[in-house]
Structures are given as C-alpha cells and as structure tokens.
A and B are shown apart, each in its own frame.
Chain A
Amino acid sequence: MEKFNVLQSTAVPLPIENIDTDQIIPARFLKATSREGFGENLFRDWRYDSSGQPNTQFVLNDPRFQGQVLVAGKNFGCGSSREHAAWALFDAGFKVVISSYFADIFRGNALNNGLLPLQVEDSVLERLLKQIEEDPGTELIIDLPAEQLYVPAWEQRIPFEIESYKKECLLNGYDDIDYLVSQKEAIEAFEKNRVWVY
C-alpha cells in the first residue's frame, strides 16, 4: 500500500449527497479480475452520456477543477461493498475524499488502499464546497501526522479524527493482512478454546 503523509492539492467539488458505489463504479465494470484500470470508468454514467461522449456538465470534465482531493456530499460511498470503488478513485488519481460522513464499508475499503476518507462537520463541508466552487484554485493541505486539514485561504486548521492504528498503517504503508498473519499463534489458541465450535 502507498504511504500517505502530507498532501497539498487543489480539490474537485461534488456536492451530491448519498453518492453510492454504483455511481462511483457501475456494476458492469466489475468483471475485471485485477485491481488496475478502474479509474477510466470512475463515475462513468455521470461522466459520459449514453453514446460515450463526455458530459460537459459533470465536474470531472470541467477543466477548472483539478486535484487529488474529492470533496463530496454526506454519506459518501453507501451501498454495495465493492472495493472497486476505492480502486477506481485511487486509480483516477484521488488520494483523499472529504465528506461529512462515509458509509462504513467504503471507509474501510478506502483505508485499506491508501485513500484517506477525511470526515468534517456538515458546516465545514458546506463552506469548503462553496469555497472551491468560487475559487477552483483553492489549495488544501492535508496533514495526516497532525490530523489537520489546513485551508490557507481561510488561515484555518481544521482537526480531523482517525483511528491510531489506521493512521500508523497509512503513514507506513502497512495493511491489516501483515498484522493478522503475524497473529497465527493467538488465532490457533483461540480456535482450541472456543465456547462453541461450528
């Protein structure tokens, strides 16, 4: 997994609530058996019309908005558990998604792929979306070690929370599988002493 430390970037605003993983990557693109290449179909049905032409109204086709940070409406990533949604965002160059809350499975999937789900208050999200829409050049600095989102235009540091274990994983590029495999002895002991065995 790629390490994450401090990121400075402009951002792409997507002020829609309840964006589900079917929008992030539609089911018909889930037939690949590797993790690569999902980025080109990120938000496919919002990005392109039925004939495959770019939808100029959609923010990813608007050249004013660039960057490695997606700022989206609340309850981002609801619905299907498909990790392909996190792969597609990462593959398309996003390293951070900011929202006022994330669906549980998406949050876990993002963290397992070096994509930071950064949760802020509703009021901060609203202000941030307005700021970026008014000034697409707005820079954001996401400082993971300090657990702060810095908006230079506001001269304001906004703290965010992240589980200490997950923070260590992101900073070091570790994933859970390494840790779990190292726990074999404890797991075997648990299996021998269970209250009920299925």
Chain B
Amino acid sequence: MGKKTLFDKVWDAHVVRTLPGGQEVFYIDKHLIHEVTSPQAFEELENRGLSLYRRNQIVATADHNVPTKDQHLPIQEPLSRFQVDRLTENCEKHGVQLYGLGHPYQGIVHVIGPELGITQPGMTIVCGDSHTSTHGAFGAIAFGIGTSQVAQVMASQCLLLSRPKRMRITVEGDLRPGVTAKDLILYIIASLGTGGATGYFVEYAGSAIRSLSMEGRMTVCNMSIEMGARGGMIAPDETTFSYLEGRPFAPQGEEWEKAVAYWQTLYSDEGAQFEVEYHFKAASVTPMITYGTNPGMGISLNATVPQKVKASEQASFEKSLQYMGFAPGESLIGKPVDYVFIGSCTNSRIEDLRLVANYVQGKKKASHVEAIVVPGSKQVEEQAKAEGLDKILAEAGFELREPGCSACLAMNEDKIPAGAYCVSTSNRNFEGRQGPGSRTLLASPLVAAVSAVEGKITDITQYLS
C-alpha cells in the first residue's frame, strides 16, 4: 500500500467504479437538501419517472428563504412561502426526513448536520450549496453541487466525478489573543486569492488547526470555497470524537467504539504526496477585514487598502473599490458602520454567540447601528437562551432572531439597504450579496461586535493584552 492522504483514503473508499476516461462513479453517504436548490431536482426525477434511490440517506431543512422573525406564523413573502411549501410537499411525497420551520432541529443545513451528529468522519456528504465544505471539519469529503447533481444523487446516490488535485495548508503555532478561526481563514484566502485553490481539495493541518475547536474548524472549512477549493477537510481527532459523542445521530455503544477505531485511521500518512503545499505561521495572523467585493480582498484590520494590483486585475480592483466607496491606500479604521450581522453557516454557532455576548456584556451598541444576531439553528437559539446570552445581547441593543441564512444572502426580508456598510460574520462580500447595493465587510464575530459598539471600524488590537 502506498502512502495516502486523508482525502484519498476517504475518496478511495467511495469509488464504485472507474471509467476508461478516468471519471469515477462516486458514492455519497449523506445528501442534505434545502428549499432553494431541490425543487427542480425533484421535478426532474418525476419527469423521468424515477424515484429516490436511498431516501433514508437524505435530510432536508428550510433555511435559505425563511424569515427570522415570527417563524410560528405563515411566511409572509409569497414566493418564499411557495418554495418552502414545495419542499414540505416533496419531502412528504418522497418520504424524506424534513426538519422544517417549527421543528426543534431546524436550522442552517451546515449547522444542523454537525450538531445532530449526522456529519461524521470518513463520510461523503453533498448538498446543493457551496458551503457544504463546512462538514470537512470532521474529516468528511463534503462539497457543494448543482441541482442537476442533486437529481443524480437522488436517483443513484452517486455522482460522476474526476478526482480533484490535493493541496495541504499547514498552520503551525498559536493564534494570538483576539484572533479567531475566521481571521485565520480570511488571512489564508487573502494570501491565495479568490481562485487560488480552484481544482483542489484542501487539507488543513498543523498545530494551529489541531488546537481549534470543532466550531473553529467548521469556520475554516466553510470558507474553502471562497478560494475556489472544491472542499476542505481536517483529520479527525479527540476533539472531533468528543464533539460527536452522544449526539442524536452519532453511533452509540459498541457501534461508537467501532466507529472511532475506524475514524482513527483517517489521517494523511507520513510522506503522502500533495500537488501543492502552503505553510503559514499562526503568529502572523492578525484580526482581518475585507475591503472589496470578493473574500480574497482581505487585509489586516489595521493595514491599508492596497495602492495597486497586477495590471490584469486593475479594472476589477477599481470597480470593486468604487462599489465599496473606498480609495486605494486608505485605512478602514474609523469608517462608519451602519449594520452588523452576526450569523450564517460560517459564524452562527454557540461559540460565536458566546464570543459576541462576552464582549458586549455591560456595553451598548452605537445608536446608529442596527445589530442582528441570527443563530444557526433552533438548538443554538435554545442554548443561547439557556445560557442567558439572549438577555446580554438584548441589553446591549443586539436583536437575537430565529434561525436561518438571513442577511448572508438576503433571500428573506433581512436585507442591507443600498449604500449601507455592514460588518458581517458571513462568507461573501460580493456586490449586492446582502441586498442590492449593500456594502459588506467580512470579519470575525469579535470584530463585528466591537464595530457595533463603537459604531465604526475599530482596531481591536488596542483592547487585547
């Protein structure tokens, strides 16, 4: 047996057959679906007279379109209601488990999979959503697919794929105080660029990665797609196992012991080959913020917007700065902030809410800022309330909402108005992502919380000892 990467161990265990051209029939263990990218797939199946091949391997939730207020009432917006209703009908008709609105397990698809123990090491997981890479934090091969592929998995539990190339990103050392997993991944994306990992599957390794919590690892893997990677993954370890143990869908008893014994074999062998390797020092990472309109346009919070970029990128760079209302070479410190959004599949877990509550306790948000906190799931919301975080947030003027994707992509009512600046813990700062004309600055939950209190972009390093 040759030396194998973590990625190849998991991939090889899922190859049904290889075609002469090199493409592989690749088996999918878990298929997560939601209301936006599944209706056309159900329709396609019906048009072809096909049925679901393994309905027990599909889990559904409603997240992209759902309101974050009054979820007990019918959805007001007719098109959103229609789409969510269509998901419910499709799941009932085809016998798919749905954690819809009102269910105690409802939430953002990439938050509920892990917290329910559906996501497990060594699995292959797909979803019609690019941030499916989140689940790689558990040592799973997880990636986003298009709706045609959603239909393929529904019909056959397989996809026809070419194996991506392998990249390893090793981060050694300790992150400095106030520097979070979000800063780390924004730093990596800024270094590689928004297309820097296209065609690759990334493994994150090194002591800085191993010392992250599961929540932190999910944040890192979540944003792999923002540098073009097909997915990101981290070898499972004790942190992974202790997170999973006892969760509703995790194996139990003897099965648990067997599972852990298998999961412990899932790591990259010493000397396994990666097509590309990058090395970073954790101590070099600072609190980060983005200034432009793709997640690769990130800088150290107290640095300045670049003066210029490569000639071929100049037109896009200028367009981006014009959209954002920033000038080359200027600092963002002191720029006014209108909205703060804490949420999304990147940063809406209990650890994120604790970090925000811990900072804002006894403080007030600036009067001109609207600050909303959207928990990733019903379970996160309940946990936050059980810990009294809801009261701390309310006293600080932050509004705790009900779970959903919310202002990350603004499909529901939670939109940032044209021209307004939003410091957001989400994953994309594309033009209009948070509403037509909205201007997004991506940052960690801590930077977002400080921005809400100060009412402007603030160098948080002054608060850190």
Contacts and interface: CB of A to CB of B under 8 A. Distances in A.
* Chain A bound to chain B: yes
A40 to B, nearest CB: 15
A22 B431 contact: yes
A105 interface: yes
Given A16-B315, A27-B410, A187-B158, A105 B145 contact: yes
A183 B158 contact: yes
B382 interface: no
B207 interface: no
A109 B41 CA distance: 13
Interface in B74-119: 79-80, 82-83, 86
Interface string B192-231: 0011001100000000000000000000000001101010
Nearest to A168: B21
Nearest to B195: A75
Interface in A78-105: 78-84, 86, 101-105
A153 interface: no
B312 interface: yes
B29 interface: yes
A73 interface: yes
Contact of A186 (B16, B37, B160): B16
Contacts of A175: 148
A125 to B, nearest CB: 9
A184 B157 CA distance: 10
Contacts, number: 194
B304 interface: no
Interface residues of B, number: 76
B431 A17 contact: no
A196 to B, nearest CB: 5
B16 A31 contact: no
Interface stretch (B43-51, B279-287, B369-377, B456-464): B43-51
B159 interface: yes
B40 A31 contact: no
Interface string B44-64: 100010100100000000001
A68 interface: no
A179 B161 CA distance: 12
B82 A176 contact: no
A20 B437 contact: no
B195 A74 contact: yes
B146 interface: yes
A27 B194 contact: no
A157 interface: no
A104 B25 contact: no
Interface stretch (B122-130, B335-343, B358-366): B122-130
A76 to B, nearest CB: 10
B21 A83 contact: no
B86 A181 contact: no
A143 interface: no
Interface in B130-166: 130, 144-149, 151-152, 155-160, 162, 164
Given A163-B21, A180-B25, A83 B156 contact: no
Contacts of B194: 18, 75, 78
B122 A18 contact: no
Contacts of A122: 312
A126 interface: yes
A186 B53 CA distance: 14
B294 A22 contact: no
A20 B194 CA distance: 10
Contact of B432 (A15, A22, A163): A22
A103 B148 contact: no
A26 B13 CA distance: 38
A45 B436 contact: yes
A30 interface: yes
Contacts of A15: 315
A146 interface: no
A75 B21 CA distance: 25
Nearest to B157: A187
18 contacts: A15-B315, A16-B319, A22-B432, A30-B36, A45-B431, A50-B436, A74-B312, A75-B198, A78-B195, A80-B409, A82-B37, A103-B228, A104-B228, A108-B146, A109-B148, A180-B152, A183-B156, A184-B53
Which 5 residue pairs of A and B lie closest in terms of their CB atoms, listed nearest first? A83-B146, A75-B195, A33-B39, A109-B146, A81-B144
Given A75-B228, A104-B198, A180-B158, 13 more contacts: A16-B315, A31-B83, A74-B312, A83-B37, A102-B198, A104-B230, A112-B146, A177-B148, A177-B155, A183-B156, A187-B53, A187-B157, A190-B16
Interface of B: 13, 16-17, 19, 21-23, 25, 27, 29-30, 36-37, 39-40, 43-44, 48, 50, 53, 64-65, 79-80, 82-83, 86, 120, 122-123, 128-130, 144-149, 151-152, 155-160, 162, 164, 194-195, 198-199, 225-226, 228, 230, 262, 294, 296, 312-313, 315-316, 319, 409-411, 418, 428, 430-433, 436-437
